[in-house]
């Protein structure tokens, strides 16, 4: 099996991954998964597609993550992993799609409008 390259995005985070057969190592920006994401919840989010298909220890993943915060980065990585698994075995697509792992969450921060403190908030109106 050759190396599979996919991209995942979420908010302003971008994850580029290289998936190959191996022992289950996940390296992110030259750091181990547990070192890059100390939170157990974020580690769980990253591993969700692998656990769903039961292929957790079969593939090595090298990822480059940039932009956004840790939550967006973990979800971008999850999308990239799910896309790579579909490239390996197209029959897994329905199962991953049913669990929402192949859907790109397009919600981003709304821009700040002029004359307002934030995107939707307004300065308090003073009649006098």
What are the structural domains, with CATH classification, of the chain?
4-99 (3.30.230.10)
The mean pLDDT of 102-123, rounded to a whole number, is 95
What band does 57 get if pLDDT is binned at 50, 70 and 90? confident
pLDDT digits (tens, 9 = 90+) for 4-43: 999 999 999 999 999 999 999 999 999 999 999 999 999 9
Quick check: 83 pLDDT over 90?
yes
Structure confidence at residue 14 (pLDDT)? 96
Q: Would you state the pLDDT for residue 63?
A: 95
Tell me the average pLDDT across 56-78. 94
pTM across the whole model: 0.91
SS3 for the chain is CCCEEEEEEECCEEEEEEEEECCCCEEECCEEHHHHCCCHHHHHHHHHHHHHHCCCCCEEEEEEEECCCHHHHHHHHHHHHHHHHHHHCHHHHHHHHHCCCCCCCCCCCCCCCCCCCCCCCCCCCCCC
């Amino acid at each position: 099996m050759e190396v599979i390259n996919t991209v995942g995005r979420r908010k302003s985070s971008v994850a580029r991954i290289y998936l190959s057969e191996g022992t289950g190592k996940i390296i992110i920006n030259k750091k181990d998964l547990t070192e890059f994401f100390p939170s157990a919840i974020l580690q769980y989010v990253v591993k969700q597609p692998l656990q769903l298909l039961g292929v957790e220890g079969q593939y090595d993943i090298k990822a480059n993550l940039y932009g956004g915060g840790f939550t967006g980065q973990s979800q971008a990585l999850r999308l990239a992993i799910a896309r790579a698994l579909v490239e390996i075995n197209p029959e897994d697509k329905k199962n991953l799609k049913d669990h929402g792992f192949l859907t790109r969450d397009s919600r981003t921060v709304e821009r700040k409008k002029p004359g307002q403190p934030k995107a939707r908030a307004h300065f308090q109106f003073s009649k006098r």
